[in-house]
Structure 1
Amino acid sequence: MTLHEHYRPLGSTGLLVSPLGLGTVKLGRDQGVKYPNGFTIPDDEQARQLLALARELGINLIDTAPAYGVSEERLGPLLAGQRDKWVVVSKVGEEFENGQSRFDFSADHTRFSVERSLKRLRTDRIELVLVHSDGNDVDILRNSGVYQALAELKQEGKILGFGFSGKTVEGGLLALEQGDCAMVTYNLNEQAERQVIDYAAAHGKGILVKKALASGHLAPGEDPVRRSFELLFGEPGVSSAIVGTINPRHLTENVRTAAAVLANVRS
């Protein structure tokens, strides 16, 4: 079972995305990440095999960010020759240096960051760029200039859509008024941002879900992964959920479970 026949529209962007996306923080950074177990960053051959497996399983969405260490730099050469097969999501706003995050939402830094991501990814466009919020969602959107800069970059064709990865309902709703997409936390443990998903469904906006499996912290019980996907894909507003595994077996199992759930949703 694969995801090839279950693609969903990313709001009104014209992009079709697989209902699971591959998160790549573990390709670029192993400091300050909130997973229950430690891990080793895959080498280039392991990363190449992981991307090939993801494509084979029907995944076409890949999620990266400047704050993910060297993730973008590694993806550039890894995606060579297959760039058109992927919908790439990156971010602006957060920089991760010397084990610490710092944030800059100014228009100048936003433009600098996107241009740098284009070079790192060795591409002429990024399908979707999200603002990596520090939690002050409404202030960022109203006072920083980040959205205006992203709107200009979209007009120039350097990005095809933009949106916001925030932490509050107010931020998510405000982000969707002017942007194309919001990334929200939504899982069996946390459902505070449900209102943002409902708004997106009603207004033709995209929703990406982060921490779909609670970063590996789901309570044990009757197949928590299946229950998670039943929750997510029962929501018409959800475009795709990002899973950050680097384990080929876990990736395959997640896709099979998601495909089975989606087949039930369609029938």
Structure 2
Amino acid sequence: MLTKLGRTDLSIYPLGFGGIPIQRVSFEKAKTVILRAKELGINFIDTAQGYSDSEEKIGFAINEDKNYWVLASKSPARDGKEMEKAITNCLKNFRRDYIDLYQLHLISNLDELQLVLGKNGAMETLLKFKEKGYIRYIGITGHKPQVLKEALDIFPFDTVQGPYNPLETQSEELFKYARAKGVGTIVMKPFAGGALTSPSGCIKYILSKVFVDVVIPGMESVEQVEENFRASLDLKMTEEEKQGILRDIEELKNNFCRRCDYCQPCPQGIKISTVFILHGYLSRYGLKDWATARYQSLPVLANRCSQCGICENRCPYELPIREMLQKSHSDFQR
């Protein structure tokens, strides 16, 4: 059964297709996986400029029936010129003359949002492309629920995307607020970046929430597509799924970063939650080259930690942040 994405006229199946993992597979394999999703009735794909060749593989896969799909992408560009490059490349990669949804990616504070909305900012380009018909709707993504909630009051975004799963429920109020405003809600990180081991249980948990329009698990195999689709058909969790989720939460509660950033600022300038996000892509997604390149590009690496412990005193989850930073840096050196 299809549902509307917020107040837009986009009709989508509530289980979408996340485009991160197909970086790992060939163009032909990606096509096989995406076409299997189509056979099952999945029609929403979300990817990003930064997911290496994901946009290209999607364009290759959908080329024979490109208008069946509702396509979304996103860019961290903050100025107009960079956003223009991102959208132009996306249109080329998708092999289509319009994008259904284009999103401001990873807005982490209101200063960034004001930069985007200001003179020569990315929003000027987004609105220009929308006026010309190259973009149908504009959304926003991020990991900071309060920032995104405030953003919805500043600009009439059509959609909002954030992490939500049985372990990370901090976006619940954001999604409820968005739903009340008619803003489409898109759930990323449904398995907590691969940390939760019951995908079917997570899909059922998320889609049972009335404030969720679509969830976008990353998928790279036909088996994953079929498993997630089966979960979307019957949202009643089995006892095994419930226990699996509870077991994961118990095991992860003391060593999983929720990206709240209460630990910031670090005196050494380490972007702590960013380190842990990238480490998750390395350790759980298997995207070694992609994650390592982004880690190495950070202005300050985790080995600059002075062991002051200020971050741990601030962390509401009492995580062993210093130890986690050391491990993350060590794993990136392998």
The TM-score normalised by the length of structure 2 is: 0.65
- 1:185 aligned partner, one-letter code: P
Q: Distance in 2 between matches of 1:170 and 1:148?
A: 24
Report percent identity of matched pairs.
Answer: 29
1:189-236 deviations in whole A, cap 9, x for unaligned?
Answer: 101111110111111110110001212211x5xxx3344233322322
**8 Å CA contact retained: 1:89, 1:127:** yes
Q: Which residue of 1 aligns with 2:12?
A: 17
- Counterpart mapping for 1:138-149 below 5 A: 138-144=110-116, 145-149=121-125
- The residue type paired with residue 162 of structure 2 is V
- For 1:175 and 1:140, the matched residues in 2 are separated by 11
Q: Deviations over 1:144-163 (max 9, x none)?
A: 32233322322221111111
Bigger drift between 136-145 and 204-213 goes to 136-145
Unaligned regions of 5+ residues in structure 1, if any?
Answer: 29-40, 94-103, 263-267
**2:141 aligned to 165, 168, 188, which one?**
165
Q: Which stretches of structure 1, 4 residues or more, deviate above 3 A after TM superposition?
A: 224-227
Structure with more of its chain in helix, by fraction: 2
Q: Hey, what's the Cα distance between the residues in 2 that align with 1:229 and 1:121?
A: 27
Count matched residues: 230
Q: What does residue 100 of structure 1 align with?
A: none
The whole-number CA distance in structure 2 between the counterparts of 1:230 and 1:73 is: 30
Counterpart residue identity of residue 127, structure 1 = D
Match of 1:43 among 26, 45, 48: 26
| Alpha-carbon distance in structure 1 between the residues aligned to 2:204 and 2:56 | 35
User: Taking CA–CA contacts closer than 8 Å with sequence separation of 6 or more, which of the two structures ends up with the larger relative contact order?
Assistant: 1
Select which of 115, 120, 124 maps to 2:97. 124
Alpha-carbon distance, 1:17 to partner: 1.1
1:34 matched residue in structure 2: none
CA–CA separation in structure 1 for the residues paired with 2:224 and 2:22: 16
Is residue 82 of structure 2 the alignment partner of residue 82 of structure 1?
no
Larger radius of gyration: 2
Which structure features the higher share of strand residues?
Answer: 1
In the TM superposition, what is the alpha-carbon distance from 1:143 to its structure 2 partner?
1.9
Question: TM-score, structure 1 length as denominator?
Answer: 0.81
CA RMSD of aligned residues (A): 1.7
Select the residue among 83, 88, 92 that pairs with 2:75: 92
Q: Which runs of 5+ in 2 are unaligned?
A: 237-334
1:206–1:237: 8 Å Cα contact kept in structure 2?
no
Deviates more, 1:228-237 or 1:187-196: 228-237
Q: 1:157 to 1:137 in 2, by over 3 A?
A: farther
Residue 60 in structure 1 maps to residue 38 in structure 2: no
1:235 to 183, 205, 209: 209
